[in-house]
Amino acid sequence: MAHFLSSYLSISRTLHTAPSSGYKLVKQATGSNLINGKGYFEYFERDRNSLVQCCSSSTSSAEEVGSVGNGRVSAINGMADQLGYLVNEYGWKVRRLAFKGEEMRKAAQVQAEAFHEPAPFFDDFFFQFFQAEVLSALLYKLRNSPPNRYACLVAEPNSEEDSNLEQEIVGVVDVTVLRDQNVLELLPSDAEEYLYVSGIAVLNNFRRKKIATVLLKACDVLSALWGFEYLVLRAYEDDLGARKLYSNAGYRVVSGDPPWMTTWIGRKRRVLMIKHFNPRT
């Protein structure tokens, strides 16, 4: 739980200092599972030298969404509506999370249930506290990043295929534009930034139903929309199930945490996995 929150918050607090990357996209015919069957569409380009404008105040409650400013809320919700569903496959649809209090609470609950470590005493209390922290971090990132630097993607059932399933958020993943020099050294010299995939979570009752696979495919679509070729994520070295999932999605292990992190800090060793995604192939 502590590791998830520390990495979750550290990513969010780098967003307001990074230059904005442009939307660069080519028209390409694709299968019916991408972007409502319409394939990739042309998007607009943004000035790569423009800086992110961040809010000066902070909050920990989704009820304070209005303090973000109508411009930012409209931009995020407008982007979510314009993109629609990025992927529709295996009975699940993935879209961008809207800047709405109830939706953000549901997304935070999914991640909290996935990453919460049960406590021997007062577990309900600690879970509620952890969920509030996850919600606070999610709200912080939404408030302090433009729509082309961070996105929270959510999966929900395709009601057209199964009318018995309610429209609820069953899976979540975060996608963030980063430029960690240690990672960039492992990429081609012309790569200035990359998409970092994190916080992937699926409700317990919906696991092993291809939801995580669909979420990762949505990350691929988003990388094409934002004009990035490289996606990066980290996985625990001994989590063979997660590593198999990522390997099947095209990620390859390129490095791992240095030994001192496991011996001195006592943290489980993680591996860095990178995927080169080319929408033209």
Question: From first to last of its 281 residues, what are the pLDDT tens digits of the chain?
Answer: 444 544 444 443 333 333 333 333 333 333 333 333 333 222 222 323 322 222 222 333 334 343 445 555 555 555 555 558 999 999 999 999 988 889 999 999 999 999 888 878 778 888 888 999 999 999 999 999 988 999 999 999 987 655 555 569 999 999 999 999 999 999 999 999 999 999 999 999 999 999 999 999 999 999 999 999 999 999 999 999 999 999 999 999 999 988 877 767 667 889 999 999 876 65
Structural domain tally of the chain?
1
Question: Does residue 29 fall inside a structural domain?
Answer: yes
Question: Does residue 59 fall inside a structural domain?
Answer: no
Q: Which domain holds residue 74?
A: 2-45+66-276
Question: Does residue 18 fall inside a structural domain?
Answer: yes
Question: Does residue 57 fall inside a structural domain?
Answer: no
Q: Has this prediction a pTM greater than 0.75?
A: no
- Maximum Cα interatomic distance, the chain, rounded to a whole number of Å: 55
**What's the CA gap between 98 and 144, in Å, rounded?**
15
Question: Does residue 12 fall inside a structural domain?
Answer: yes
Question: Does residue 51 fall inside a structural domain?
Answer: no
Q: Which residues have CB under 8 Å from 136's CB, separation 6+?
A: 59, 60, 61
- Six token digits for residue 42: 């042309």
CATH code of 170's domain: 3.40.630.30
Question: Does residue 223 fall inside a structural domain?
Answer: yes
**What's the CA gap between 175 and 194, in Å, rounded?**
10
Task: Confirm whether 90 is a catalytic residue.
Answer: no
Question: Does residue 58 fall inside a structural domain?
Answer: no
Tell how far CA 179 is from the center of its chain.
16
